[in-house]
């Protein structure tokens, strides 16, 4: 197994973990907001606004992981290609 397989395999796993974490966080945020609305229905507007802002921030972390994955793909390829060139030069090939 060469190093490119390991790098190519780690990115999707990382995005999957970020999505799972985001899903758990969103679930807990909505659960907390619904419990708070159930206890104080008169504050539903404020609670809902705060929950939506929090959900947007939680979801932004998953989007950042997705963007970092695609940015890292080019960097990983350049790093692997550079390492191969250095290895070939050191081997005299």
The predicted-structure confidence for 10-56, as pLDDT tens digits, reads as follows 778 888 898 999 999 999 999 999 999 999 999 999 999 999 999 99
CA distances to 2, 48, 69 from 78, rounded to whole Å, are 15, 46, 14
> Has residue 91 been placed in a domain?
no
> Has residue 29 been placed in a domain?
yes
pTM of this structure:
0.66
Cβ atoms of 4 and 80 within 8 Å: the answer is yes
Q: How many domains does the chain have?
A: 1
- Tell me how crowded residue 15 is: count the other CB atoms within 10 A of its CB: 16
> Has residue 13 been placed in a domain?
yes
Residues in the chain: 93
Tokens 């692997």 found at: 80
> Has residue 41 been placed in a domain?
yes
Q: Write out the residue range of the structural domain in which residue 27 sits.
A: 3-86
Q: In CATH, what number is assigned to the domain containing residue 46? A: 1.20.20.10
């Amino acid at each position: 197994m060469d190093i490119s397989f390991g790098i190519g395999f780690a990115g999707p796993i990382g995005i999957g973990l970020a999505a799972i974490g985001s899903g758990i966080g969103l679930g807990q945020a909505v659960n907390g907001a619904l419990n708070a609305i159930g206890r104080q229905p008169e504050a539903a507007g404020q609670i809902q606004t705060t929950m939506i802002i929090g959900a947007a921030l939680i979801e932004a972390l998953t989007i950042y992981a997705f963007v970092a994955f695609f940015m890292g793909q080019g960097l990983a390829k350049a790093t692997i290609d550079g390492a191969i060139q250095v290895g070939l030069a050191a081997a005299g090939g």
